[in-house]
């Protein structure tokens, strides 16, 4: 792959999928802006350091344009460029449709959709100047399949899918590709324990059968590194012919 020396912003990279993506990019030689808002990202920075990578840590609230603008400025100052944007920060309250309040609805949309839109707008000057860029929006299989347990979260991910297509159409002339990555079930560490990383770490490649069968064609649920593999491909020059697309990484769950 041709990622060495490039620079990336990964929102929501303190834990979980975002952490796995940030560490995988760093291992590939990408300089990474690690962001956090609620959960500290010291664990992510430690893992990147152990991997021999280079990163900066920026507290970011994706519901604030000023905070996002500061993130992009700090990244540009530190690395001189921004080649890759991974929109990952999201909020999932896990409420039923009739349990949502006006405030819940607005917060989900402000983070999960408007946050992505704001980040795209604020990174655009750098990518347009370079006439090159890779934007990867993390959505969910629930962009297509109803959740049943969090209707508005699923609605927001459907919005991400269309935002990706519109952005790909608008930014293609500048050499910028925009794609959606839709994970299925991914094993995340329970919040109350808050270790640096789960048993299968972001530094280790999971074995094919490393989880008890759960109904997926792969024989297991996913781990953050499974999603990170896909991000590495979409960020690389090998994916230059792919834009406006949604790549599903769900172990075959949507086959059922």
Q: Is 8 helix (H, G, I), strand (E, B) or coil?
A: strand
DSSP summary character for residue 88? -
Strand partners, 177: 134
Determine which one of 153, 174, 229, 241 is catalytic: 153
Burial label for 241, CB within 10 Å (0-12, 13-18, 19+), is exposed
Within 8 A by CB and 6+ apart from 34, the residues are: 10, 13, 14, 22, 41, 44, 45, 48, 55, 56, 57, 58
CA dist 102 → 46, 145, 229, 237 (Å):
39, 23, 37, 42
For the record, the structure tokens of 11 come out as 């929102």
Instruction: Give all strands (DSSP E) within the chain, no chain letters.
Output: 7-10, 31-36, 55-59, 84-87, 133-138, 176-183, 246-249
Active site residue 229: no
Structure tokens at 23: 């560490």
CA distance 246 to 75: 27
How far apart CA 183 and CA 143 sit, in angstroms, is 10
- Residues annotated as catalytic are 153
């Amino acid at each position: 792959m041709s990622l060495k020396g490039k620079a990336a912003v990964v929102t929501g990279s303190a834990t979980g999928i975002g952490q796995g993506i940030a560490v995988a990019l760093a291992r590939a030689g990408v300089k990474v802006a690690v962001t956090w808002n609620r959960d500290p990202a010291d664990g992510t920075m430690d893992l990147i350091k152990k991997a021999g990578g280079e990163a900066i840590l920026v507290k970011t609230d994706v519901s604030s344009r000023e905070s996002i603008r500061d993130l992009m400025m700090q990244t540009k100052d530190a690395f001189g460029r921004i080649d890759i944007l991974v929109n990952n920060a999201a909020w999932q309250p896990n409420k039923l449709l009739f349990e949502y309040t006006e405030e819940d609805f607005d917060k989900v949309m402000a983070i999960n959709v408007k946050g992505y839109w704001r980040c795209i707008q604020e990174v655009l000057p750098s990518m347009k100047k370079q006439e090159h860029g890779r934007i990867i929006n993390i959505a969910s299989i629930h962009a297509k399949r109803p959740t049943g347990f969090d209707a508005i979260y699923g609605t927001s991910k459907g919005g991400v899918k269309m935002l990706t297509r519109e952005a790909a159409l608008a930014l293609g002339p500048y050499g910028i590709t925009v794609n959606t990555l839709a994970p299925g079930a991914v094993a995340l560490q329970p919040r109350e324990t808050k270790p640096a990383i789960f048993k299968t770490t972001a530094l280790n490649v999971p074995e094919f059968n490393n989880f008890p069968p759960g109904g997926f064609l792969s024989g297991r649920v996913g781990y953050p590194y499974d999603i990170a593999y896909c991000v590495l491909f979409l960020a690389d020059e090998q994916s230059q012919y792919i834009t406006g697309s949604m790549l599903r990484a769900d172990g075959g769950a949507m086959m059922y």
